Structure formats: C-alpha cells, structure tokens
Structure 1
Amino acid sequence: MGHLQAEQLRQKILRFVAVAILLTGILVSGMAVTQLYSETRRHTELLTSVNLLHQAQRVDQRLQRLGEARSGDTRLDTAMQRGLRTELQSAAFVIPDAHQYLLHLPSGDHLELSVETSSSLPLTSLLARFSTEQPAHQFTEQGQWVFFQPLPLHHSWALITLIPARQVALPAYRVLASALLVILFVLMAGMLLATRAIRPLLQQMDLSEKRLRHLTEYDQLTGLPNWSQLHSRLGERLAQAAQDPTQQLAVLFINLNRFKVINESLGHEAGNQALRQVAERLQQLLPAGDLLARATGDEFLMCVQICEGQPEIEPLVQRILISLKQPLVIQQKTVYLDATIGISLFPDHAPEAETLLQHADAAQMRARQSGQGRYQFYEADMSARSLDRFELETDLRAAMQRQEFELFYQPQIDLQTGEVSGAEALIRWNHPTRGRVPPDQFIPIAEETGLIHPIGQWVLEEACRQACLWQEEGHELKVSVNLSALQLNNGDIVDVVRQVLQQTGLSSRWLELELTESYLFENFSRSARVLKRLRLLGVSLALDDFGTGYSSLSYLRRLTLHRLKIDRSFVKGLPDDPGDLAIVNTIIAMAKSLSLEVVAEGVETAQQHQSLLALGCHTSQGYYYAAPESAQAFRHRLATFRRAEQY
C-alpha cells in the first residue's frame, strides 16, 4: 500500500511540474511582450525626436543661406516659404498626417510647411505655451504628439511638428504583433515537442496506474480478485439483490486441508503451484457472472447468485469438494488436497457483506471441527461461539503473565507391584471468570496462535522443577510431559529440553517426553532425527495414543522409543469386547518383541485392571487409581503408594 501511495504522489508531482512549467512560460512570455512594447515605443519616440532635430538643422541652414542672399532680410515671403517647403519635402522624414510649422516666437508669425494646409489642432491654441527660453521637448494634446524644436542658429525660430499619437505608436504595435506571432509560434512548437517528449512518460504513467490498480485489486499468484475487491463487488451484488426478492446470494468460504504439508515437504514453490491449480479448478466450476477471489494463504471465497427456480447451492458445493479431492501433479509428484467449506446466505443470515463473510468463516471453522472434506451452513449460535473463542484467545495471551496455569499429575502404576512408577503432567487453566478451562478447549487455540511454544516450555520447566522437589522428599519418580507436533517442529526443541534440565537440575533419566503418532509418521525422516537427538540427552520417549494413527512395525523399529501408550478407546471395552481384547493383546505382544514397555491409559474399573494384568501390560493409569490432581494433593497421595524400584 505504501508503494501505491508513493507512485500516486510521484504522478501528482509530475503533473504539477508540467502545469507549472506551462504557466511560467506564459507568464514570462507576457512579461517579455510588455517590456518589448514599452522599449519599442520609447525608441520610436526617440527616433522621431532625432529626425525632427535633423529637420530643424536643415531649416536653420536654409534660413542662413536665404538670409545671406538677402543681406540679412529673413522675412517669410512667398519665395522663402516655397523654398522651405521644398527643403523639408526633400528630407528623408515623411510621416502620414503630420503637420509642421515654422514659428517666429517673438511675433507669433508661423509658416505651415506641410503640403496639406489643414490641421486638426490649430496652432494658435498652442502659441501661449511656447517661448524662446524653452529647450526642445514634446507633449501630447488632444490625441496628437506636439514636438517643439528650436532652431540651433536662429533662436527666435522654432520648428513645431504635430503628429497623431497613433502614428507614433504604430511601429510599436507592429513590433508587438510580430513578437506575439513569434512567441505564439515558439509556444506551439514547444508544446508540440513537449507533447512528443512527454507522451511516453504519460503512457508509462498510465501503465503504472493500471499496474498499481491490478496490484491492489488482484492476487498476483493466481490472478484472482483479492479480498478487498471481492468485498467491494459483493456489496454491489447485495445492493442489486436487495431490490429483487426472488434473488439470493451464497458466500462460500473455502479452506484447503493439508496445504501446509505440501509447503513444508515440497517447498513454497510447490505450494504456489498447488494454489494456482486449485484456482483453475474453482474457475472452471464458477457459474457465469459469479465471483471468485483468493482471500489469504490457502483460503478462497466464492459469491454465487441463486435465483428462484434454479438449483440450490449444495450441488455446486459438492462438485467443488469432489474436484479438490482429485490428485494434483506438482514437481512430477502426485499430491492430494481436500477442503472444508462454510456457507452463509443473503438475506437469511445477514444483510451486509462484512457479516456474511464472517458468518461463512464461522461455518467453515465448524465444518473443519466436524472433519475434513465437509461443508457447513451458518447457524445462529456460531457467531456466539466465534466471539467466545476470540475472547478465550485474548485471555489465553495474558494467562501466563497472570500465572493462571497449573499442572496436575496423574500417577502411573506398576501392575506387577502395585507401586507408583511415575506421573503424567497435565496442564490446567484456572480462568478468573470461566473457572477451570479444559485443555481440549485452549490447546488448539494455543497451537493456532503459536502460544503453544511458551506454554509448552513453562509446562516442561514446572514438571521438572516439581520432580526435583519430590526427589528431595524421597520420591524419585519419572515425570511424563506431552509435546505437541508444533513444539517438535520447532528447530530448537532439543536445546529447550537441554536448557530446562540444566536450569532445574533434574537428571534426564527422570524425564519422559510423550509424542503423537500424527507428528512422527507425517514427517518420518525429520522425526527420526529429532528423536535421536533427544535420546542422546538421556530422556525417555513414549508414543502416545498408540493404535489410532499410522503406526507400523517397520517405522517402530527405526524409532528410538521406550514405551507405547495404548489409547483409552481400546481399554474401554476390556474385558468383554473381543475386538478390543485382541487389539490390546496384539499391541502388548508386539511391544515385547520390540523390547518396548506398554502403558495402558484410561483404566477406570477393576475388571480392566485385571485384564491388563493378565495380558502382561507393564504400567497403567486412569481414574481407577487416581484422577489428575494438584502437586500438593499428589504429594499427599504418594504416602498411600510405595515407589516402584524399577528406575
């Protein structure tokens, strides 16, 4: 988003600079024209004065010659008037509509030297303004320029010239018109050149705007609209559907399952290829005119219009689930995905886009809880559950700081001796308002949010610290701690265990780590390496909930385990259920062949206890012996049991 704003700002600056340059050019051109006009007019007036001075000198010389020829007689007789007119007309100064007079200042007598004898400005009205003491000057009077030029030799005579003001300014206007034409030509040429030069930049800016719009509105990996564009277009569809009661809209929230496995095992590029193939399949199934978008990660959104008389949405949802279950070929490997889909309907579930999307997400989460490859319509209580889960997550983040977690311990009993051989540490959350929150409610949230790492480390530290306290009181017991798949996938789990053992001072032989089958066999190579490093620390390793996952003899032989824990679902049917009896007997026999101990979980009756004892099970735990309890209560319970000597 920051890149988009920067590009938009750059384009605005370019436009501003272009407009500023154009306006500056116009302003400078106007100033230049004004200055040129002023200078031209001034020089025109100056040239007029210079020419009139030249004429005055010629008249003065003529009077001098005439006077010498007439022995000083300088009267303006007819011959003299004719000679002066001839002299002036031969001068190289001709101004249309100009009138010239030779004025005798003392007497006021004057001689009109122009060819035309009519003047629009009578000279008699100006006589009072002239005297012999005045130097050459000019002024305007009634729209005409009046030039007063005394003769250099005959000071009592002056040459008076009347010129219309338009004749004086005409050269300036001509120069101005020429200058304007030149400037207009230059501006047009400059604009043409600038347009040709800027056109590629403008085209590039247009492409940049389109590219930026595509970046902000479309997913770059799949080419589908992104969340923001779908939200906007969904609002438009809802507004249209609200005007037609026969129309209904369905929002499908599609979440891919096992996508994380592809990313982690084959790499992010393989994950990208999988997303592109999924997008292509969804586009092929998308009804014409409907919307498909990629939300985030492995989530897609689909908005489908349902008109009266058309099939319901469920056939389309089923086709989507079937299509996404088909294998994908990525990097010459066949991989499998499936999806869970949440569905919300307009106007049944919500009238606006944001709420519809939230409801579809809540329905998708419910579908995931029910199992993979399912779909679920939104139900009214889902929003309340989503809000409750959100509040639970918020409280979970503060639980460690408020010291609301507590470890409970359930004893593990040696069936041969009846003595306590160990204890399994089980976390409990004492919520200030909800009371005690069961682990199955907050552990999944901790795994999704990543809080499982600090919580898991705290459990490990607290269990080891408690084991040290029991040893100080004479009870040397092995403590078992559950590790989640996320903790085991963390690259530093071995270092965490080593550091906890060093800090608490507990010997590694008194610590057992319980692992899940799902982690061990989904990524077997990594599992084997991590277990080998943990085994080198000296801790014991147990496989929890054995028989419910992907266990096989070949894998068990390659893993450095110590014990198998039979899942409570198989113990529950003992001794009456022949199937459970056969399974438990097989597990115990297999474990013995692999030199592994067996722990039976969920023992609740004496009959189950006797059956396990008869089958040769080593250890058991369950409510038949004791419920999980606090460290203090467990300490008192130890007084009723003897510690087994097998460790």
Structure 2
Amino acid sequence: MSQSQSQSQTILIVEDDPVIQTITSAGLGKNGWAIRQANSADEALASMQADPPDLVLVNINLPDGDGFSLIETVRLGQAGSSDRDIPILVLTAQDDTASIHQAFAVGATDFITKPAKLALLVVRVEYALAAAARAQALADARIEQAVACRMARLGSWRLDHVTGRLQWSAGAAELLGCATLPETREALIERAADNNRYRLEAAFDSAIAGERGVDVECTLWLLDDQPTILRLQSEASRNQTWLIGAFQDVTGLRAFEDRARYRAEYDELTDLPRHRHFNRVLRDHISKQGGQPWSVTVIEIIGLSRINAMLGISAGDQIIATFAQRLRDVLSANAVAGRLEANTFAIASPVDTIDIPIADYEEWLAPLASSLSVAGEEVFVDFSAGASLYPSDASDAETLINRAQWAQQSNRDRRGHRHVMLYPETEGLEESGVLSLESDIRKALGRGEFFLVYQFQQPADGGSFNGVEALLRWRHPIHGVISPGRFIPMLEEIGLIGDVGEWVLDEACRQLAIWHEANATLVLGVNISAQQFERRDLADRVTRIARRHRVDPRTIELEITESMAMHNPDASQRILEQLRVAGFRLAIDDFGTGYASYESLLRFPIDTLKIDRSLIEAVTGDRRNRSVIRSINSLADGLRFKTIAEGVETQRQRDYMHALEIDAIQGFLIHRPMEADACTGLLTASSKEEE
C-alpha cells in the first residue's frame, strides 16, 4: 500500500493498556495511517458513530466488557449502518482455539496475538484494508448492476422442457409491477395477447429444438387493466432439460414516436418488416456490400382465404405466424425476411453466384410445405414462389422485389409446374398473358394509356365531400388495368416519374376546373414524386399549370411523403415555403411511417397531416393504435394542422376517427376510387340530396 493511500485511512485502536496503545499507535502511525484511540467499548462506539474509521483494532479484554460484545454490537449495526462492513482485527493474549473461533463467530475479520510484532501487524492491517476495499468494490458493482437492471427493467427466466415449469429471477414480479408471474409455459402463452400467442409458442419450440434462440417481443396481460410489453431472449437450447434466457420490460421504451414507427414498419402478427421497410433494409444491404449478388424470393400462401372461411380467421393467423417462423428457421445468417401482403412473404439473402440451380431453391423451400395442426385439423400449406437476382435481373431493391413477385404470380398461374420460378423464365410467357412491362411503359404516356381515378374525402362526422385525391392508373391496351404497385417503381427506375407526375397534375387541374364550374367546392390532392420535389423550379411549374386551367392554388393540396420531407429537411423547407408563397396547400402523406421530428413539423409550412392506413387498420382492436392516433391529432391540433385518416374501410373505423376528433376520412367506406365521370355523377347526386 502506498503512503498516499494509507494517509487517507483511519485506524481506531481500542485498548485499555496504555503501553500497548502507545506502542501500537506509534508503529502504525509511522506507516502513514491516521490513528484514533479509545480506552473502552463505550468510547469506541461513540467514536465510530461520530466518524466511522476504516479499520478497528480491538482488544478482547476491556474494562466495561469484552471485545466480543463490541464486535457483535458493530456487526448488528448498532454503531451505525455504515460500520457493518468495517474490518475488525482482534488483539488477544489468549491464543487458544476457543477464543479465536468466538472472535470469528461474532464477526471479526482477523486476529493477532499480543504482544504483536509490528511488521506482522502492519501486514495484517494492509491485507484487511485491501480485502475490505475489494469487498466494497464488489458490493458497489452488484448494487450498480441491480440498479441498472431495475432501470432497464431486466431479469431472467428458466423453462423446464419436460414439465413446462417457468421460473423467474428474484424480484421479477415486483419489477413488472404484478403480484405473481406465470409459473408454466402454457400460463405465459395464455396471458399473451391473441395475436402474439402463436409467435411466442413457435419461438419456444424452435429454441427447445436447438434450431434458433428465442428473440420475441410480446404483449402480456400481467395486470388486469394494462398490458406489459416483454422482450424474451435466449440462445438455442444446449441442454435437454432447461432453456435459460433473459427478459426486459420494454413497455416504457415504446413511447409515441418509437411505437408509431414500429407499427408502421413491422407486421404485428409475424414481427416481420412490412413491404416498405423490407425494401429499405434490402436497399441498405445492397449498397453496403458492393457487388455481392443477392437473391430475392417472394412466396405466396395458396388457399388461405378458403382456410379462413372453413376454420376461422384465427386459424388463418396461426398459419401465417407458423409460416413466418418456418421462414426464420430456414434463413441463412445474413438473410432478411418480410411480409409484403396478407399472404405474401419475401426473403432476401446474399449468394455466392447468380447461377443458382432451381434444385437449390426447392431444397430450402421444402420445409415450408410440411403440414401443421390447426383447430384440430391437419392442414397442408401450399404456396408458389418466384425469385429474382441482383445484379442480373435488376439493380435496385424495389425492382428486385417487383420482379420476384412477378415471377411468383406467373408461377401461381401455372400451378402444378413447381414451387419456384426465376424471373428470366417469365420472358418466354408473353403469349400466355405475362408481359414485360418496362418496354411498354416507356410508350404509355405518348399513347394516352395513363388515366386518373379520384378518391373522395369527407368530414369524419359525415356531410358533403370536401376533398378528393387524384390517383394514377395505367390501362394497357392488351392486359387491361395494371396495378400501380407494379408500374410506379418502374417509372421511378427509368426516370419517367417526373414527367408522368407533371401530366397527373395537369390532368387533375383540368378536371378540377370542370368541377368548380359545376359549383362543386372541392380541394384536390395531388401526390408529388421525389423526382418532382427535387426540381428547383417546382413552384414555377405547378403555378403555370394552375394558371393554365384557371384554378385557384388554394384549392390544390400538394402531397409529399414524410420520408421525402425528411431526406433533406433544409431543402424541403425552402421548397415548401416557395409553394406556400405561390398559394398552394401542403400535406404530409403517409404520416406515422417515417421520421419527421416535432422540430421539423414546427418549421414546415404544412396544412394537413394524412395519417397512414397502417395505423388505421387495427384501430378498432388495439388501444395502442388509438393512443398513437390521439397523439397525432393532439400534435396537429396544437400546430393547427388538418388531419385526414387514410384507408378507412369500415363504419367502426369511422366511428373511432370521429371519437378521436380526426377532421376527415378517406377510403373504401366512402367509395372506391372512380374515374372523373363517375365522380361527377356522385357529386351531382349528393348535391340534390342536400337540396
């Protein structure tokens, strides 16, 4: 021990023999320790209460009682709670075994017989102080760990494979704020939210089988009046008896913005990325790994609607959750999976070569086709799959997904052929009704094949239509109307989306002028593409189109997505301010799916927030969705923004929007998107009803 260390430490010597007291004090004092003295047990206790020392050197025989009683008093905390762990060395002339045992029994740290050799005493004191410092450091570390676990709301669990018995770490119930925790696996699953049960059970089964560790976030009803969001994790089982893992209460971590983003990006039933987020993940992987080839496989479950009709929606959900877990089980280490639509999944994985034989696809897809038990029935899962490869089939994520989906749909039409079809194979199916869109879409604008449909908006509490959104469609001369999900990404890829977007704005303004002449007071919403938004002269272009058709800019609402606005907030603010000065209304579309901060919303000159349909879908059955929408509305109300709920399809959803004080709704409940003539007829009928 260094001199500087010892100078900061105090030793209390409890000794009634003045000679021994003087000699011991002088010897220890020369080694740098600060020395205090006491002649009796009472004096020692008073000294310790006033200023606890770092070490006590006590004689067994004292005038007002033996040293054993003093030690016991200190260890019981009667000298002050901070004294319990102070090292105590016993000085005794009684070197018999009984005295030594008694000293340790009442809490002595070490002993030394009198007369003590100074060199030996110094070593014993140094050892005792060092041991005390280590013990204190360990105690502090444990306290810090316990505090960190409490703050992070962490604990552990242990599952018996055979009996299903579930054990929790000490204090877990208190940590989670409940009286008791489930004592079996079945009880835990029973307390999970309905849409989490299949996923939780599949995760346990996979871990117990040694395939993949548990990593699942689920909602549990541990309290009657509020859910707890718990994340369970473990390694895959390495033991035939126990599965050991950790849990974290993440309820408090799912604050408004995080929860809204999660629900927008991940599918609730399967916990897989939705289409948009899957696309971003794939895009990031491709950009980070340079020329690494990637395979994208789209898989559609066949006959799910029939199973829903025969066995119920919950049976269909069980199939979806189990199928998703099987996808996870067959994933390679760097692969990602997503749920594109209700019964359609996608897997993207890096590959060594683009020359992958069909047999390799069939081999890893085979486990997906095994049967499963649903509602007491054995159900066989049939599916079709299509695959595309980067970079041979496409150079960007969205086109890869579209082409894999195109191959899957082509394969589905030829059921009985095999489970998977590669995108290049679709090129030879022209005469069978499968087309290559890219060459035709380049000619579509010149041929007048694009057209607009319009979707009405209406106050949430009913009344006249007060708005309409223009939506782009493509009518192919041979194959009919093509889904925008197929052709819009192609327009973006080949760089035509800007020109087509300007045509949309021109055509929409032409039609709006006609409706205004017929005294229909509508605000027209038009989507602005990212390529249009990046044009420096966007405000001038839009203004010229409005003037050409003699349309008041205040009746045109230009819609940009949240992600577009946040790509470059400073540039977005400048463009939006230019459009605002020109008189146009401005809206953030798909709000709740991106990363707009409050600070950005405060400075953007926005009129309307359009709440994304992903937040509306489950609003009737999920109180958290309602909380998110209520928060968005409160934010909009404070900033004086109008709110529009997109994708409203049922009366119950509309009732909730009205109750949550959303201003307007848009969706199939009002009417499906229609061409202009049909819209005019509906507007005429509506005006006659009001008269």
TM-score normalised per structure 2: 0.42
Higher helix share: 1
- Based on CA coordinates, which of the two structures has the bigger radius of gyration? 1
TM-score normalised per structure 1: 0.45
